[in-house]
Structure 1
Amino acid sequence: MFDDLPDDVPRLETLRTWHAMWVTRIDAKLAQARQREAEQARAAAAREERRPDWLLDYGQNRAGTPTAVHVGDCRMAGGRAQGVSVEVARQALAGGVAACTLCRPDTELGMLDP
C-alpha cells in the first residue's frame, strides 16, 4: 500500500528517528496546551465563584452615590462596580438608584412598580 519508503535499513532508521523526534515535540506541545486550558478553566471557575449576585455601579466616582444597580453578571456594570448583598441592592433601588435597563435587577428582585 505505502511502498514509497526506502528499502535499506540506514535510511529507514533515519526516517524513524526523524518522525519519533516530531512525535515527541508534538506530545510536549500537546501537554502544554492541555495544561494551559486546565489553568484557564480553573481561573474561570475561580472568577465565577467570586462573582457577586448584585452590583452597585458608582460611575466615575467610587466614593460618591451609586448610579445604577446591576445583576452580578451584567456586562454593562462599570469597572468601579462593587458587589453587594441582596438587601443593599433592594435598599438602593428603593432609594431611587436606577436599575440597569439591560439586566433589570428590579425585575429579578420583584420590585417593579405596578
Structure 2
Amino acid sequence: MNAGPTSPAHRDLPAVVTRYLDAHRAHDTSTAISAFTLDATVTDDGRTYEGTAVIEAWLTRSSSEYTYTTTLTGAERVDAAHWTATNRLEGDFPGGVVDLNYRFTLRDGLIERLVIEP
C-alpha cells in the first residue's frame, strides 16, 4: 500500500514535495519535472543529474528500470528550505526492499536539490 495524500506523513510535507512524490509514484514524468527549478540537481545512487532535461531522462529511466511500490513512512522538516521524506521501496531490484531518504532543498517554491540515499 502506498502512502497517499491523507497519510499523516504526507500532510507534513510542502505541496511541491508531495506533487513530486505523487507524480514519481504514478510515473507522471511531466508533473514530476514541473516541481524542479530549471537549474536543479538530483543525486541518486552516487550519480548527480543537473538541469531539468537531464533529470527528466533520469526519471524516465528510473521508472522503467525496475518494478516497485513506494510507501512514504516518514517526513521531517529540517528548516524552512530543507525537508526529508523517508520511503520504503519494495520490488524486483537487487535486495528487494530498501528504505531511502529523499532530502529536498527548496527554493522559490520549487525543488532546487534532491539527494536520495539510504
TM-score bracket for this pair, using the shorter chain length: under 0.3
Q: TM-score, normalised by structure 1?
A: 0.21
Q: TM-score, normalised by structure 2?
A: 0.20
Which is richer in strand?
Answer: 2
Higher relative contact order (CA 8 A, sep 6+): 2
Which is richer in helix?
Answer: 1
